[in-house]
Structure 1
Amino acid sequence: MDRLDAVLAAAAPLLTRVDDLLGTMGAPADHDVWRQLRRVRLLPGDAARAVAALHPGEFDDAVGLLRSDARACADVAAALPPPDGWEGEAADAYAEVRRRVADRLSGDGDSLDERLEASADLAQALIDWMTRARADLAAALATVLSSEQALTLAAEDAPEAAAEVGAYVLRAIADSYAEADDLLQASAELAEAIPM
């Protein structure tokens, strides 16, 4: 259990109240909550639970496994036997195939080991992002729990206060999600096939 789990448990009633008021009473037409709702496309409570469902620790093993597989590719490429003692067309053909296979396994940016390393880097970046997203949301929830708007919402139906709390929480989540989108866009080439 990290800080987000603890803070989210305390903030759950407030988020439910905010979601209910936004859903039934709305918010002022020009309020920033509408922009944040368009960015996240979830009500604050649902969005907070989505971030809380991110578990960076579940990806820790993936980074090490990907790096291990990259090293294995490099080791296999280095261990491919040369055509020692062979001569002629068969030896030349084998040497060419051996070179191509070794280059695909280990070498430049289009090799399997480089792709595996890049995938490990992406996995680590996503772990770091999830950790930051959880911490940022925990900080945002702690702020709104101690806000004047939270006190107002505890006493009355106040659409303006609900909009303020909702916008603050959603902004933290939207900013984190924009960072994740940038990470994924920057790694789009990992989905492309390795040319043969």
Structure 2
Amino acid sequence: MDQLDALAEPAADLLHRVDGALHAHGAPTEHHLWPLLRRLGALTLPSVEAITALRPAPLLAAGASLRQVGREYAEARDTIGTPQDWAGAGAEAFERYRAGLAGHLAGDSASLAGHLAATADYTAALDAWISSSRTALASVLAASLASAEAVTLVAGAPDDEMTTATAAAEIAARVLGVVAEIVETGETLHAEWTERLADIGYREPADEPLPRPDSGVLRTRY
């Protein structure tokens, strides 16, 4: 359990009040909350729940499994040997296919092992993003719970709609501002890795052209 988990229950109660006040009273017309609502398309409680649901542990386990499979591909590559005492066109063709398959299994970043390693690196980057996102969200929720606006929503005068709406908008803007930064960072991370994680496929080596007969005139008797 981290700080975000510890704050989940009291934060959910506060954000439920925030969203309820926004539904009932709206927000001041020129408030900086409106661009955030348009950007995210969600109020505070569902936005926070979406981030809270992100957990780094499954990604770490997946990354370790991917690296293990990559090592197994490298071991499989090493078992593909060239038969001894074999020469000629057949041996040359076999070597082309052997080298192609070995390179496809493990080698550069375009190989299966290289692709798995890159995917494992991506899970590590996602893990770091999730961890930092949870920390940032916990920080803003802690500040919101201790804010004067929270006191207004929990114990304020319900007849003062403008005060209630302003308090709710202030908390929502703080929280959704952090959520928007988290989303933007995640989108940037995804874009950076899209090309590196592009699909790869095996390409069979091209066959060597058949030898041509010597040039000249071919004469026959009949």
Distance (Å, rounded) in 1 between the aligned partners of 2:57 and 2:110: 29
Q: Structure 2 length as normaliser, TM-score? A: 0.84
Contact 2:109–2:118 under 8 Å retained in 1: no
Q: Secondary structure at the match of 1:187?
A: helix
Which residue is equivalent to 1:10?
A: 10
1:162 partner amino acid: A
Further displaced range: 164-173 or 50-59: 50-59
1:108 paired to 2:108: yes
**Corresponding position: 1:187 with 2:193:** yes
Shift of 1:48: 0.8
Distance in 2, matches of 1:83 and 1:92, equals 11
Between the two proteins, the alignment pairs up a number of residues equal to 196
| Cα displacement string for residues 70-124 of structure 1 (whole angstroms, at most 9, x for unaligned residues) | 1111221122111321111111111000111111111122111111000000011
Equivalent position of 1:74 in the other structure: 74
Kindly name which structure, 1 or 2, has the bigger radius of gyration based on alpha carbons.
Answer: 2
Counterpart residue type for residue 192 of structure 1: D
Asked if the contact 2:4/2:135 (under 8 Å) is kept, the reply is: yes
Deviations 1:120-157 (A, max 9, x none): 00011111111111111110000011111111112134
Q: Does 1:169 align with 2:166?
A: no
Aligned to 1:123: 123
- Tell me which stretches of 4 or more aligned residues in structure 1 moved more than 6 Å: none
Cα separation, 2, equivalents of 1:75 and 1:58: 26
Q: TM-score, normalised by structure 1?
A: 0.94
Unmatched 5+ stretches in structure 2: 204-222
Taking the aligned partners of 1:78 and 1:164, their CA distance within structure 2 comes to 62
Q: Percent identity?
A: 37
Match of 2:147 in 1: 147
Structure number with the higher helix fraction is: 1
4-13 or 166-175, larger mean C-alpha shift: 4-13
Q: Which runs of 5+ in 1 are unaligned?
A: none
